[in-house]
Amino acid sequence: MLLAEMSLFEIISNATYGALAGVALWGLYCIVIVWSRVNQKRFKSEEQQDFFMDDVEQMLAGGDFEGVTEYCEGDKRAVAQIVGMAVEHREMGYKKARTFVMDRFQRDVMSDVEYRLSWVSTVIKSAPMIGLFGTVFGMMGAFETLATSESVEPSALASDINIALRTTACGLAIAIPLMILVANVNIRIAKMEDLVGAGLVRFMTVYREALAKYSASRGGTAASTVEPMTSQSRVE
């Protein structure tokens, strides 16, 4: 059907499909970004994180702060980044360093994830409303057909009603899968937070003791360093 032959109601109803496609693609894009972000920031398993923390503890026990920094350098996972930042800012002291790294974790990781998820929530809420918008105009077109025709062809009336119902169905078809995906992503985020929390509790205990030794040794001889067996061979 040519655009010139279409009524205003038909044009708006059909344009609804384009709007629904746009919000669906944006919602899917945000889900993919959040999914990849969470996978990038968490260890694949608790055992893998334990291997990492074993190496960090061994280095800190020997006072090898530089070794910890090099070990964490380039690692995109949240615990590794937090450990690296805490060690780099050890001159700040335990409490300030702890506050600093937790603020960075919330700002650099969690805030970005929550921002992306907020867009997905917007898509979930708006997709059915956009579909309903198309439904309203489709029904208005159907009533206009009834009002302006002396004898109404059932096929013409059914076409308007069909468009009206399909837009709502499309909106729901977008929102429902996204709701399931968001629920799955939230589970992965919760697991990431649990892993990061467990890693931080373990690290901060050892870090506090290492800082005490470091402060005590600054006036005397430097602490000897211990070359640890890295977890790279065990994990890979």
- pLDDT tens for 157-176 read 777 777 778 888 999 999 99
Tell me the average pLDDT of the chain.
80
The structure tokens listed for 64 are 């090898």
Fill in the DSSP letter of residue 152: -
pLDDT at position 224? 36
pLDDT band at 179 (very low <50, low <70, confident <90, very high): very high
Q: Residue 26, exposed/middle/buried by CB under 10 A (0-12, 13-18, 19+)?
A: middle
Task: Compute the distance between CA of residue 81 and CA of residue 219 in angstroms, rounded to an integer.
Answer: 29
Do residues 118 and 183 touch, judged by C-beta distance below 8 A? no
pTM of the model: 0.71
Reported as a single tens digit per residue, the pLDDT across 5-40 is 566 666 777 788 888 999 999 999 999 998 888 888
Q: Determine the residue type at 169.
A: A
- For the chain, which residues make up each domain, given as ranges? 18-218
The pLDDT assigned to 177 comes to 93
